[in-house]
A and B are shown apart, each in its own frame.
Chain A
Amino acid sequence: MKAFLVLDDGRIFEGKNYGATGKTFGEAVFATGMTGYQETLTDPSYHKQVVVMTSPHIGNTGINPEDNESSKFWVAGFVVRNPSPITSNWRANDDLEQELVRQEIVGISNIDTRALTRHLRDRGAMRVGIFSGTELTREEMVVEVRKSNQMAGAFLSEAVSTSTPYVVAAKGQKRFKVVALDLGIKAATPRSFAERGVESVVVPFNTSAAEILALNPDGIFLSNGPGDPAAMTQVVETVRELLTSEVPIFGICFGHQILGRALGFETYKLQFGHRGINQPVLDRTTGKVEITAHNHGFAIKAPIDQQFTTVYGPGEVTHVGLNDGVVEGLRLIERPAFSVQYHPEAAAGPHDANYLFDRFISLMDARKVRA
């Protein structure tokens, strides 16, 4: 069956239907990872986004029950050049396309994903629609895409956050308890904590500072997630209250943007975002380069060359993206709070930045020693 990928600016790609048929809308973004499509599909940060895979063959390793980052596929749509006609992996228990159909994810295949990626890189991420099995004319499809929601200003935490708190137990002896504010958390994060003897209490995005502190946490974690950080006024307020509590705070991705806003920085939308698992980041404190997993369309505006001052004391930019100089990490100097724009929990992606979890644990250690 024919399918159409229709961009906000009127460009149309014609291909074949892939996954479910029907229509879907979202923000068109491209992801450059050559492995890890299952993690990408199940990553809540991709909520309301139509993901274009730049890797030409997708579906090679099928779907397995172990690599999900959440309970379902979150992408709004999936764009693949050449889906693999067969599954070749010992852990696979199903075919990817079957699963896309089951989860009602509308996709498109057999389009020139390189041309599409270049278009998005030159003109920026934009709204997109995928249509298959509809009777709409090209003009009508463009009109429908232009009526769909923008990512700028989007508040999506409610859709992805857990509605009730839950606990992920530590493996082995429990050393610390972390309260994780769920803005779209991936399973890999509580898993990374658990491996280090840290129990995670995952709480809904709208949990108040008082409620969080009442759980008596050793540390507070701000998760990744979808949406525009500028739309997160309430959570930013919560984080400001938490910052005065002296409990160590660690933010990842969206959580990093929230911490940045809580410190008084602005966030802005990147032209086409960073989505891939090969992004070099310089750790300015050690001078070392780590290869990291990224998935962000927004970033923090903060002074890179010098320390900055906030109402919570001085701070500095700790990590910088080497491809384009984007702020990739922040920390406060006199308070135990830091954050990174990328994904130390990986899944998908390299494990180079795992040490950040240990850094968080040493902050919790230090606080315990003081107390």
Chain B
Amino acid sequence: MPIDKTIKTVLVIGSGPIVIGQACEFDYSGTQACRVLKNEGIRVVLVNSNPATIMTDPEFADATYIEPITPDAIEQIIIKEKPDAVLATLGGQTALNAAMKLHEKGILQRHGVRLIGADVQAIQRGENRELFRAIVEKVGGESAKSIICHTLEQCFSAVAQLNYPVVVRPSFTMGGLGSGIAFNSDQLEQIAGAGLRHSPTSEVLLEESILGWKEYELEVMRDRKDNVVIVCSIENIDPMGVHTGDSITVAPALTLTDVEFQKLRNLSIDIIREVGVDTGGCNIQFAVNPQNGRIVVIEMNPRVSRSSALASKATGFPIAKIATKLAIGYSLDEIQNDITKVTPASFEPTLDYIVVKTPRFAFEKFADADPRLTTTMKSVGEAMAIGRSFPEALQKSLRSLEGKRQILSFQPI
């Protein structure tokens, strides 16, 4: 299917301020989106509250609004600019949440604007834990045993069934904000209490602990013809219990046999189909029990994520760019592969090298922060390295952190 001619003006929602848990990767993806839309002759209207980004440079959009990313402000922009569509899947969780609010308040319907990239139902199915669990079950996957709670009392009665430690995950937050692992009732009160406050829906999920399991992520893209490709598999060195953003990660996954990898691949494809992301990318996370291979689906992001930026750089498959093209109507086989220039984007990159990403911490600058790694992201940046072997890539990436003696060595420090 070629480009959708009814889309003449697109409102791109940016990711707002750079915070721990949501860094410049969404500036990168949003900038790519603006560039693609402009090249296709589409008028680009951009809203981002953060002027210190590349995407807000004047040349990237036809109209740039440095305004708060709130439904009211965005409605004003919609009234003024009359876009045909809103693209919110490339601005991280901030943009996605904003789009959901626009929908809930009836603003999109009122002004006849549609969401492209992922529709409201798909976003809900991907982000709402109960709906997502049902989907995982429907496609034959398994989720960690869990209980949804809206009050602290509910949390305490849930723990009676799940036993400590339990993982606390607030709904609709980014970078794992407000989440953590509770080993006793004091910790539960502290973490779940904060989680209930942070969650826009006052909702937290308590989950059986899969601490120490192997953690994998797959980057998936799907078009409206139902073509699906797995762009990249990523394996975390730090197991379940440490947030992916704080973990050293490796692409491609190195410790799965083909049988096991294909199980993850099939589950990912079935999940993206069932969730209904049909014009873009998503990221699906799995935990695998190292003792017996039991697979638990952790979550999905129905949008371009932090890992998508890593996967793009690791494989040369420009996820943000292609996600934008899919959103405006193209299918994967109509988009050119940026590296070969002659073959289509409907392929799965294969690597003859190893990519390692290492987080950069700055605990020395945050005296009060607890430097223990948990399911809440604490790193402030990351370095990625490509090498022809795992040791090479690991050392290069550690060295790129520019910390003193931050390489692995047998010499005494």
Q: Could you tell me which A residues sit within 8 Å of B by CB distance?
A: 32-36, 38-39, 54-57, 60-61, 64, 66-67, 81-82, 88-91, 113-114, 117, 276-280, 282, 287-289, 291, 322-323, 346-351
CB distance from A60 to the nearest CB of B (A): 5
Report 10 cross-chain contacts, Cβ distance below 8 Å, ordered by A residue.
A34-B233, A36-B258, A55-B352, A56-B354, A56-B390, A82-B389, A91-B257, A288-B226, A291-B230, A350-B262
A38 and B257 contact, Cβ closer than 8 Å, known pairs A288-B226, A291-B348: yes
Complex Cα distance A114/B354, Å? 13
What's the dominant secondary structure at chain A's contact region? loop
Contact assessment for A350 and B265 in the assembled complex, using a CB-CB cutoff below 8 Å: yes
- Select which of B233, B257, B332, B348 is within 8 A of A64 by beta carbon: B257
CB distance from A282 to the nearest CB of B (A): 7
- Would you call B292 an interface residue if the criterion is a C-beta within 8 Å of the partner chain's C-beta atoms? yes
A35 and B348 contact, Cβ closer than 8 Å, known pairs A57-B354, A90-B292, A323-B343: no
User: Which parts of B341-365 form the interface with A (CB within 8 Å)?
Assistant: 343-344, 346-354
* CB neighbours of B262 from chain A (8 A): 35, 346, 348-351
Contact assessment for A33 and B258 in the assembled complex, using a CB-CB cutoff below 8 Å: yes
Contact assessment for B350 and A288 in the assembled complex, using a CB-CB cutoff below 8 Å: no
The residue among B230, B255, B389 with the most chain A CB atoms within 10 A of its own CB is: B255
A35 and B333 contact, Cβ closer than 8 Å, known pairs A114-B388, A117-B352, A351-B262: no
Contact assessment for B352 and A67 in the assembled complex, using a CB-CB cutoff below 8 Å: no
- Select which of A289, A291, A348 is within 8 A of B258 by beta carbon: A348
* CB neighbours of B347 from chain A (8 A): 278-280, 291, 322-323
A289 and B333 contact, Cβ closer than 8 Å, known pairs A36-B258, A61-B256: yes
User: Which parts of B226-280 form the interface with A (CB within 8 Å)?
Assistant: 226-227, 229-230, 233, 252, 254-262, 265-266
- Select which of A32, A33, A54, A322 is within 8 A of B343 by beta carbon: A322
* CB neighbours of B256 from chain A (8 A): 35, 61, 89
CB distance from A245 to the nearest CB of B (A): 36
- Select which of B344, B348, B390 is within 8 A of A278 by beta carbon: B348
Complex Cα distance A351/B263, Å? 9
CB distance from B244 to the nearest CB of A (A): 20
Contact assessment for B227 and A289 in the assembled complex, using a CB-CB cutoff below 8 Å: yes
- Would you call B225 an interface residue if the criterion is a C-beta within 8 Å of the partner chain's C-beta atoms? yes
* CB neighbours of B343 from chain A (8 A): 280, 322-323
- Would you call B291 an interface residue if the criterion is a C-beta within 8 Å of the partner chain's C-beta atoms? yes
Contact assessment for A36 and B257 in the assembled complex, using a CB-CB cutoff below 8 Å: yes
- Select which of A34, A89, A91, A276 is within 8 A of B252 by beta carbon: A34
The tally of CB-CB contacts under 8 A between chains A and B is 115
- A276 nearest in chain B by CB position: B350
* CB neighbours of A322 from chain B (8 A): 333, 343-344, 346-347
- Select which of A67, A113, A277 is within 8 A of B259 by beta carbon: A67
Contact assessment for A90 and B290 in the assembled complex, using a CB-CB cutoff below 8 Å: yes
- A84 nearest in chain B by CB position: B254
* CB neighbours of A56 from chain B (8 A): 352-354, 388-390
Contact assessment for A280 and B346 in the assembled complex, using a CB-CB cutoff below 8 Å: yes
Contact assessment for A34 and B259 in the assembled complex, using a CB-CB cutoff below 8 Å: no
- B293 nearest in chain A by CB position: A90
Complex Cα distance A60/B266, Å? 22
Question: How many chain B residues have a CB neighbour from A under 8 Å?
Answer: 38
* CB neighbours of B351 from chain A (8 A): 34, 55
CB distance from B137 to the nearest CB of A (A): 20
User: Which parts of B268-311 form the interface with A (CB within 8 Å)?
Assistant: 290-293
Complex Cα distance A34/B227, Å? 21
Complex Cα distance A117/B351, Å? 13
Complex Cα distance A282/B334, Å? 12
CB distance from A352 to the nearest CB of B (A): 8
Name the 4 nearest CB pairs between A and B, nearest first.
Answer: A36-B258, A348-B258, A278-B348, A35-B258
* CB neighbours of B388 from chain A (8 A): 56, 81, 114
* CB neighbours of A278 from chain B (8 A): 347-350
Given A279-B347, A289-B333, A291-B229, list of 7 further CB < 8 A pairs? A57-B389, A57-B390, A67-B259, A90-B290, A114-B352, A278-B349, A291-B346
Complex Cα distance A245/B223, Å? 42
- Select which of A35, A66, A117, A279 is within 8 A of B261 by beta carbon: A35
* CB neighbours of B265 from chain A (8 A): 350-351
Contact assessment for B227 and A288 in the assembled complex, using a CB-CB cutoff below 8 Å: yes
Complex Cα distance A33/B230, Å? 14
* CB neighbours of B266 from chain A (8 A): 351
A81 and B258 contact, Cβ closer than 8 Å, known pairs A280-B347, A322-B344: no
The residue among A66, A117, A289 with the most chain B CB atoms within 10 A of its own CB is: A289
Complex Cα distance A278/B260, Å? 16
Contact assessment for A90 and B346 in the assembled complex, using a CB-CB cutoff below 8 Å: no
Complex Cα distance A33/B261, Å? 12
CB distance from B1 to the nearest CB of A (A): 10
* CB neighbours of A34 from chain B (8 A): 233, 252, 350-351
Contact assessment for A60 and B254 in the assembled complex, using a CB-CB cutoff below 8 Å: yes
- B226 nearest in chain A by CB position: A288
* CB neighbours of B353 from chain A (8 A): 56
Contact assessment for A61 and B333 in the assembled complex, using a CB-CB cutoff below 8 Å: no
* CB neighbours of A323 from chain B (8 A): 343, 347
Complex Cα distance A224/B348, Å? 24
Complex Cα distance A55/B390, Å? 11
Contact assessment for B292 and A280 in the assembled complex, using a CB-CB cutoff below 8 Å: no
Contact assessment for A67 and B258 in the assembled complex, using a CB-CB cutoff below 8 Å: yes
- A278 nearest in chain B by CB position: B348
